[in-house]
């Protein structure tokens, strides 16, 4: 059973969500009006449990959109939408504690999702406060094969760029030595280690700012953490290297778990999802569980839905629109869409300046939809954006 809270702001979107439960058409309009707020979606719930859930919801003054199979008492599982206000959902969660068929678990998840408040990210000896989120993560590319052609091969110059980003207000520096753009090929482990190690040796003499290393190779991660890195940003979400989770756990480091289908060389081929948001959510939920089982603390975990990694323009757009869904994972949400090609496709203009403008706008939407961390190339411009949003009262 997968549970997540949604954020619905208009009737059109509400109707789409109600329809996804496969309920009878005659309740579309009625239930759509009830969920223009923050309803809960429950996937893979036993149909017997769904029937009990609906009856308990009605007794609290709420309602549940259930599939026709549930109404016909057919065996199996389905997706339901809980339509309730804050008071009703609190009453319902208490009632579900006394029910069978995993409804106790559902009660626990609803209470957890509604009560968790993220305070800080714990990584090694550092604690990164989330009090003034969203945080800004500045990107430093040590690879000349960077997707946006802004890689800096000279580690000393890269350190100067990182220092400049810190002066502009970056909260975290994210450094990588291997490009993971669509179609890119991996580099040798020794070469990656050399670049990362050299950068960290120089930079750590100048700054104590939290440093994230963008790598999926455990050998690179181990050297990076020994040299003072605080977070490992893993595009494979701990699936590539079998020792990665243990190394991160041993160092008490932070980890970014990103969603990606296939690998960089092939991730943009034959893209197909039945439900892109649900599939990403379920993948990240599974990898968080794996991280915790491996000894990594939950307050050290960050998730990234992987904008641009194995996704179409439409997929990326929908994920950004539905970022709030991922808040139910109860860990910080990172969004990295800086200067990516899908933005150029949306505006039908690949001009450098236009793509950067599109990045600023897309980052603004991401923040308003729930992003806790923005991974960007342009730190100065992003910090200005956040000041404007905060000044206008939306954060």
Provide the 3-class DSSP secondary structure of residue 62: coil
DSSP state letter for 240: S
57 with 80: CB under 8 angstroms?
no
What lies within 8 Å, CB to CB, of 41 at 6+ separation is 3, 4, 5, 6, 17, 20, 79, 80, 81, 82, 325
Cα–Cα dist 111/178, whole Å: 41
Cα–Cα dist 241/257, whole Å: 13
For 228-234, which contacts have Cβ atoms below 8 Å and span 24 or more sequence positions?
Answer: 228/200, 228/204, 229/196, 229/200, 229/253, 230/123, 230/124, 230/126, 230/254, 231/121, 231/123, 231/172, 231/255, 231/256, 231/302, 232/256, 233/174, 233/176, 233/258, 233/304, 234/258
* Degrees, nearest 5: CA angle 352-354-355: 65
Active site residues: 340, 375
């Amino acid at each position: 059973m997968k549970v997540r809270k949604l954020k619905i702001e208009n009737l059109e979107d509400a109707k789409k969500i109600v329809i996804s439960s496969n309920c009878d058409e005659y309740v579309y309009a009625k239930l759509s009006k009830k969920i223009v707020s923050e309803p809960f979606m429950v996937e893979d719930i036993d149909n017997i449990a769904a029937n009990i859930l609906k009856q308990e919801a009605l007794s609290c003054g709420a309602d549940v959109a259930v599939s026709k199979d549930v109404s016909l008492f057919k065996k199996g599982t389905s997706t339901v939408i809980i339509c309730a206000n804050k008071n009703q959902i609190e009453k319902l969660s208490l009632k579900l504690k006394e029910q069978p068929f995993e409804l106790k678990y559902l009660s626990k998840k609803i209470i957890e999702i509604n009560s968790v408040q993220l305070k800080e990210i714990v990584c090694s000896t550092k604690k990164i406060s989330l009090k003034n989120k969203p945080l800004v993560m500045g990107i430093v590319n040590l690879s000349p094969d960077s997707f946006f052609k802004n890689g800096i091969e000279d580690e000393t110059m890269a350190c100067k760029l990182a220092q400049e980003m810190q002066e502009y207000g970056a909260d975290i520096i994210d450094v990588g030595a291997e490009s993971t753009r669509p179609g890119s090929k991996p580099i040798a482990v020794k070469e990656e280690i050399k670049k990362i190690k050299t950068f960290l040796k120089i930079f750590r003499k100048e700054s104590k700012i939290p440093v994230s290393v963008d790598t999926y190779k455990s050998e690179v991660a181990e050297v990076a953490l020994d040299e003072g890195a605080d977070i490992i940003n893993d595009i494979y979400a701990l699936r590539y290297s079998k020792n990665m989770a243990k190394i991160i756990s041993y160092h008490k480091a932070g980890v970014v778990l990103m969603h990606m289908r296939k690998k960089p060389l092939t991730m943009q081929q034959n893209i197909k999802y039945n439900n892109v948001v649900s599939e990403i959510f379920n993948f990240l939920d599974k990898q968080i569980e794996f991280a915790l089982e491996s000894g990594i603390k939950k307050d050290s975990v960050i998730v990234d839905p992987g904008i641009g990694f194995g996704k179409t323009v439409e997929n990326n757009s929908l994920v950004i629109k539905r970022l709030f869904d991922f808040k139910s994972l109860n860990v910080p949400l990172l969004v990295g869409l800086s200067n990516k090609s899908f933005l150029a496709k949306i505006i039908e203009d690949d001009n450098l300046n236009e793509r950067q403008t599109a990045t600023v706008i897309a980052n603004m939407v991401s923040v308003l939809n729930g992003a806790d961390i923005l991974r960007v190339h342009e730190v100065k411009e992003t910090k200005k954006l956040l000041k404007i949003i905060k000044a206008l009262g939306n954060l």
